[in-house]
Structure 1
Amino acid sequence: MDRQDREAFNSTRFYCQATERPGTLALGDPGSGVVPVFTSLDGLAAYLTARGETEDARWFSTLGADLLTLLPAGYGLLIDPGTGHATVLTPRRQGLSRSALRSWEER
Structure 2
Amino acid sequence: MKYPNLGEQPEPDLVLIALDVRARRRDPGEFDAAFAGAALYVRRTQDRVGVMAAELPGKGRWVLAFSSLARLARHSGDVSWLSTTGADLLDQLPRGLGVLVDVDDPHGLPLLPQPHGGRARFGGASLPPRPADMPERPPGTHPVW
Q: TM-score, normalised by structure 1?
A: 0.75
Q: Deviation per CA, 1:61-86, whole angstroms, max 9, x where unpaired?
A: 00111111221331100000111111
Paired residues of 1:89 and 1:100 also in contact (CA < 8 A) = no
Paired residues of 2:32 and 2:121 also in contact (CA < 8 A) = no
Instruction: Give the equivalent residue in structure 2 for 1:105.
Output: none
Cα distance in 2, alignment partners of residues 65 and 15 from structure 1: 13
In the alignment, residue 12 of structure 1 is paired with which amino acid? A
Matched, 1:24 2:48: no
Instruction: Give the equivalent residue in structure 1 for 2:109.
Output: 87
Paired residues of 1:37 and 1:80 also in contact (CA < 8 A) = yes
Matched, 1:36 2:64: yes
Paired residues of 1:47 and 1:82 also in contact (CA < 8 A) = yes
Where does structure 2 lack aligned partners over 5 or more consecutive residues? Answer: 1-27, 129-145
By relative contact order (CA 8 Å, sep 6+), the higher-ranking structure is 1
Cα distance in 2, alignment partners of residues 6 and 84 from structure 1: 18
Report the CA distance between 1:6 and its aligned residue. Answer: 3.7
Matching of residues 55-74 of structure 1 within 5 Å: 57-74=79-96
Q: As a proportion of its length, which structure holds more strand?
A: 1
Instruction: Give the equivalent residue in structure 1 for 2:76.
Output: 48
Instruction: Give the equivalent residue in structure 1 for 2:24.
Output: none
Distance 1:100 1:88, change over 3 A: farther
Paired residues of 1:26 and 1:33 also in contact (CA < 8 A) = yes
Where does structure 1 lack aligned partners over 5 or more consecutive residues? Answer: 103-107
Q: Secondary structure at the match of 2:120?
A: strand
In the alignment, residue 94 of structure 1 is paired with which amino acid? G
